[in-house]
Amino acid sequence: MNLRSKIWDRVLSLFGRKSLNKTAHRKAGEFEEEYERTDRISFTAVFAASLSNKAVSDSTFSVKDAAGKDSRRSEWLNNGLQKVWSKNKTLVSQTLGKGGKVLVPYVRDGMPFVDLIDQSRMVITSMRGDEITGATLMADIGSVDEKVYYRFADYRLEGNVHTIRYRATNDSGGEVELTIIPEWAEFQEDIVITGAEHILFGYLKCPQDSREDKQIMGVPITYGGEETIRDLHDCLNDMRREYKLKKSFVGADERLFGKDSKLPDNGLFKKIRQTGLKEGNFWEIFDPAIRDSSYIARFQQLCGILESTVGVSPGILTKVEKTYITDDEIKQQNSDTFAMVDSIRANIETAFSQLAYALDVLAEAYGATPSGAMGDWQITWDWDMSMTESSTETFNQLSELESRGLILPERLVSWTTGQSLEEAKKEVAAAKALQPDTVDVLLGEE
C-alpha cells in the first residue's frame, strides 16, 4: 500500500465520512500504478491510445445558449470546457488506461479552471441511484521545505444544498493550515451553495464492464484480460530469450587442436569429438534456425484473444490485410470498435455535461457572469465520422447529388474542405465569379 492510501482513513474521519466501497478504491489505485509502469510494454496503454485517437481526433464541440447563440454565460462555460478539451487525447487515454478521471472545476479571479485528477484520488461516500452525491477528493499535492502536503476537498449534496469543505494534511494525514501552501490560501474552508441538483464535478469513466452489479468506479479498458496480458509478456520474453541464446558456432574435430586442447579465444569454435561430426569432416557449422514463426503465431493468437476480451474489432494489435472500399464493408468489419468508440463518446458527453453544470452553478454563486442565466446553455458535439465511411465513396455520392441539383454546392465544398456551410457558400460564390459567362464562352467572346 502506498503512502497516499495509508492516510485515507484519517482524512475521511476528518470530514466525518466513510467510503462506500474500499475495495473499489483500492483497485483504482492498483489500476493507476499498473498503467504508469514504464519498465515493459503496456498493452492497456496501446488500447487506450488507439481508442482515444479514434474517439476524439478531429472532433469538436461548442457551447451556446438555449437559442443557439453566444451569451456571456455560454462563452464563459465554453472557455472552461475548451481548456479541458485541449488535453482530450491525454484525458481520454488515461481514462481508458486507469478506469476514470475526475474533472474538478473552480473559479479564480472570475475565470473558470478545471483540475484533472485520477479516480484513485476520489473516495465516493454517498450515491443516489447511479449518481454520486458525496465524495472526498485529494484535490492537490504540494511541498514546502521538502515536506509533502495534501489538499482535500469534501463534496456533499443533501437535498438542494451543496457543501464543499477544504482541508490540508501532512503526509501522515494530520491536519495543517491551508495556508501552508501559498496557492491554497485563497480557498475558503467551507462553501455552501443552495439550489444545486447535482454534485459539482464531472466524472469521466471508462465504458468497460467491471462485471459487477453496482459499478461504482470505472475499470481499465483491458479489464478481464489480465491472464492474456501475462501470456503475451511471457511470449515476448520467450522470443527475447530465443534470439539471445541463438548463436552460430563452428564445431571442429578435436584433431585440429593442440595437446593442451585449448580453443580459440573468439569463441567461434567449439570442440566436438569425432563421433559428433559427420563422417570425414574436420569441422561443421552449427546454425540452428530461430523458431520465430511459432512464437509469432502464438503472439498473434494472444493478440486476437485480447482484442476480443476488450470488445473491439481486429486491427489494434492484429494486422488486417483487407482494404475496405464501401461504407458497408467498413461498418461490418469494424462494428465492435465503432460500438466501443460510441460508448466512449457517450461517456465524454455525460462528463462534460456534468462539468458544464458544475461550472454554471459556480458562475452563478461567484458572480463570474451576470446572474440569472443559470441553465441557459447547451453543448453541441461534432464528432468525426471519417473512420466509419469511405471518403471516396462519400465524395462520389455527394458529387452525384450536387450535379443533379439535389444538394447545394456549398454542402459538397464544406464536406471536402472542412469549412462551415457559411464559409463554403462564400467560396462557391467567389469561384463562380471567376468563371467566364457560359454565353460568352459559346460566342467565343472574352
Calpha distance 330→407 (Å, rounded): 25
Give the pLDDT band (50/70/90) at residue 386.
Answer: confident
* Mean pLDDT within 193-209: 97
| Beta-carbon count within 10 A of 323 CB | 6
Contacts of 252 (CB under 8 A, 6+ apart): 269, 270, 271, 272, 282, 283
Name the band, by pLDDT with cuts 50, 70 and 90, for residue 434.
Answer: confident
**CB of 221 within 8 A of CB of 96?**
yes
User: How confident is the model over 56-91, as pLDDT tens digits?
Assistant: 999 999 999 999 999 999 999 999 999 999 999 999
Q: How many CB atoms lie within 10 A of CB 380?
A: 10
| Contact indicator for 4, 33 with CB cutoff of 8 Å | no
Q: What pTM does this model have?
A: 0.81
Which range is least confidently modeled, 50-54, 334-338, 413-417? 413-417
Cell numbers placing 386: 471519417
Contact 95, 101 (CB under 8 A): yes
pLDDT score, position 215: 85
Q: Give the tens place of pLDDT for each residue, 5-43.
A: 678 989 999 999 999 999 999 999 999 999 999 999 999
Say whether pLDDT at 1 is over 50: no
Q: What does the alpha-carbon distance between residue 216 and residue 355 come to, in Å, rounded to a whole number?
A: 19
How would you list the strands of the sheet with 100-108, edge to edge? 111-118, 100-108, 202-205
**8 Å CB contact between 379 and 61:** yes
Write the pLDDT tens digit of every residue in 243-271. 777 666 656 566 556 556 665 555 555 55
What span, in angstroms and rounded, lies between the C-alpha atoms of 184 and 218? 29
Question: Cell 475495495 belongs to which residue?
Answer: 23
Give the pLDDT score at 44. Answer: 98
C-alpha cell at 424: 463554403
User: Does 282 or 38 have the greater pLDDT score?
Assistant: 38
Q: Are strands 147-158 and 175-176 parallel, antiparallel or unpaired?
A: unpaired
| Residue 362 to residue 418: CA distance in whole angstroms | 35
137 forms beta bridges with 122, 153
Distances (CA, A) of 131 to 198, 201, 374: 8, 12, 21
Cα distance from N-terminal residue to C-terminal residue, the chain: 84
Write the burial class of residue 116 (CB in 10 Å: 0-12 exposed, 13-18 middle, 19+ buried).
middle
